[in-house]
Structure 1
Amino acid sequence: MVFSLIRLGYLEDERFQKAIGWIYAFQRTDDGVDKPPEGEVYMRYESCWGRHSCHMGVAQALKAVAAIPEEKRNGKIDEKIAELAEYFLKHRFYMKSHDPEKVAKPGWLRLGFPLMYQTDVLELLEIFAELRIKDPKLQDAIEIVSLKRNKEGLWKMQNSLNDGMLVPIEENGKPSKWLTLKALKILKFYAEL
C-alpha cells in the first residue's frame, strides 16, 4: 500500500508519513540472530514477527521505501534502505542466511506479474537496479533470471494471480511481455557485474 500511494502522489500527506515512520521504526532485519524484539507490535503476528524476520515483510518494506524519490529521502530512509538491502544480500534474495545452500523461498524463483503482496527474484532485482545497487552477491539471482529466457528470447509467466483478478494479465506458462521487458532492463543494468 505504501509503495502504491507513493506512486500515486501521496508522499507528502501527513497521514501517509506515519506509515513510512512505522516502517522505519518497526520493520525488522535481525534475521533471528539476536533475541526477537518485544512489544505489542511484535506480539500480534507470530508468523511475521516471530523469531526470524519475515522475508515478505522485508521485501515489501524495501519496495515501499525504495519508491521514495531520492531527492525526498532523508538520512533515516537511506539507512533503512541500506539495512533492508543488506538483509537480501545476505540471503541472496531467496536463500537461508544460516544455511546458505538451502532455499528459503522457492516460490520466489517462479517469475510473475503482477505480484501483489508476493515477490520474486526478478522484482527484487528490479528494486536493486532502481536503487543502483550492484554487488557480487546478486550474481546468483541475475543468473536465475537469465537462464529463464527461452529460445525466442522471452520469459514465460510462471506465477499468475489471474484466478483472483477481474481482468487476466497474460497467461500462465506463456511468454510474458511484462516479464520480458523487466528481465531485459535488469540484465542490461547488471551486464557489467
Structure 2
Amino acid sequence: MADKVLDWLLEEENPSVRYLTLSSLMDRSEDEAEVMGAKEAIMSIGVVPTLLDLQNEDGSWGKPERFYTDKYRGTVWNLVILAEMRADPKNERVKKACEFILSCSQEFEQGGFSYTQSAKTKTGLPSGVIPCLTGNMVYSLIRLGFIEDKRVQRAIDWICSYQRADDGIEEPPSGKLYERYEACWGRHSCHLGVAKALKALAAIPDDRRSESVREKIEQLVEYFLLHRIYKKSHDLEKVAKPGWLRFGFPLMYQTDLLELLEIFAELGIKDPRLEDAIRIVANKRNNEGFWKMQNSFNDKMLVAVEEKGKPSKWLTLRALKILKFYDEL
C-alpha cells in the first residue's frame, strides 16, 4: 500500500473515508483522538451536512410520499447515503430520517419495507414490499443506530423468514408475498435482493447474530459462491452481471463485485471460488495505485459523490480493504 495512496485517503476533505481508512483499513482504535476527530468531522464537512441541510422538518426529503419513487433523491436513497457515510446516529436529524422511514415504509404485520404507503394506515403497503428495499433499509437503520429497535428486529426476522437464495427452481414458493413480482420472487432469486439482504445481515455485529441470522447468512453467501459472485452458476464461462464489473459508489439498490467482496471480507470468508473476483479487483488498480469511479448516480442525487472517470477514494478504500484481507496487496 503506497504511502501516497494512504495519504490521499486520509485527506480531511472527505472525513467519512478518512475515518474508515483509520478504523477499518489501518485498524486504529475507535478511542484514538485522530479516529474520533475524523468521525466527528463527518457531521460538519462534506456530503452529510449538505444533505441534512436539505431535509424537511418531518425527516423526509422532497415530497414525503415519494420516499422511494423519487429516485435517487427521496428519503430512502438519502438514508442509504447517510448510512454509507457513517453519519452520527445520535444526531437528531439522522434520527428523524430513520423514524420517518420506519413509520411510512415498513409494512406493519410482517416487518418488510414497502416502496409505497397505505392510504388508510399511512404505513407500508403490503403489496409494495420488496427484498432489495428491505435489505437496504435494515442495513441503513443498523448503521444509524437502530439495531435495538423492535421494528428493525422484526425486519431482520422478515429477511430470515422470506429472503430466498434459490438458484433456479421449477416451482417458486406459493403465497401472496411470492406472487406479487416475478422479478423479485420468481423461479430464480433476485440477485439484488440476495445482495442487499446479505449486506444487511452482515452489518449486525457478530455477537448479536441469532442462529437464524447465521443460517441465512450462510445461505446467501453460498448463493454468491455458486455464482463466483458475478457469473452464471450453470455455466461459469459466462458473465451473468457484466455491470457488476464497473465499480461505483453509492450503489443504491444496485450492487457490484467490489461491494460484495467487501461484505465477504467483513464476514471473514475465504474460499477458492472467490479467486477470480479478487483478481479482477486487483487488476483494476491503475499505475498510481488508485481505482477509478466507473459507475455514478451523480446528477440524479441531491449531492454529488466524487466524479465518474476520476480516481475514487471510496472505491480505492474498498479495494484495499479487500486486497488486505485476501493478502493480495
**Scaled by the length of structure 2, what TM-score is found?**
0.57
Give 1:43's aligned residue.
179
Q: CA deviation at 1:34?
A: 4.7
The worse-fitting range, judged by mean Cα deviation, of 142-151 and 97-106 is 97-106
Is the aligned partner of 1:107 residue 2:243? yes
Letter in 2 for 1:124: L
Give 2:285's aligned residue.
149
Give 2:255's aligned residue.
119
Is the aligned partner of 1:12 residue 2:148? yes
2:264 aligned to which of 117, 128, 133: 128
Q: CA deviation at 1:35?
A: 2.2
- Rounded to whole Å, the distance in 1 between the matches of 2:245 and 2:139 is 22
- Rounded to whole Å, the distance in 2 between the matches of 1:153 and 1:46 is 42
Is the aligned partner of 1:26 residue 2:162? yes
Give 2:233's aligned residue.
97
Unaligned runs of 5+ in 1: none
Letter in 2 for 1:157: M
Letter in 2 for 1:73: R
Q: CA deviation at 1:142?
A: 0.4
Is the aligned partner of 1:190 residue 2:322? no
Deviations 1:164-184 (A, max 9, x none): 112211110111111111111
Q: Equivalent residues in 2 for 1:52-63 (5 A)? A: 52-63=188-199
For this pair of structures, how many residues does the alignment match?
A: 192
- Rounded to whole Å, the distance in 1 between the matches of 2:157 and 2:327 is 35
Letter in 2 for 1:55: H
- Rounded to whole Å, the distance in 2 between the matches of 1:60 and 1:46 is 18
The CA RMSD over aligned residues, in Å, is 1.0
**Scaled by the length of structure 1, what TM-score is found?**
0.96
**Higher Rg of the two aligned structures:** 2
- Rounded to whole Å, the distance in 2 between the matches of 1:171 and 1:9 is 29
Local SS of the residue matching 1:160: coil
Is the aligned partner of 1:175 residue 2:292? no
Q: CA deviation at 1:33?
A: 3.2
Deviations 1:87-117 (A, max 9, x none): 0000011111122211111111110111111
Local SS of the residue matching 1:81: helix
Q: Equivalent residues in 2 for 1:77-96 (5 A)? A: 77-96=213-232
Unaligned runs of 5+ in 2: 1-136
Local SS of the residue matching 1:164: coil
Local SS of the residue matching 1:92: coil
Greater relative CO, 1 or 2 (CA 8 Å, sep 6+): 1
- Rounded to whole Å, the distance in 2 between the matches of 1:35 and 1:133 is 31
Letter in 2 for 1:28: R
Deviations 1:41-99 (A, max 9, x none): 11011111111010000000000001011111111111000110000000011111122
| Percent identical | 72
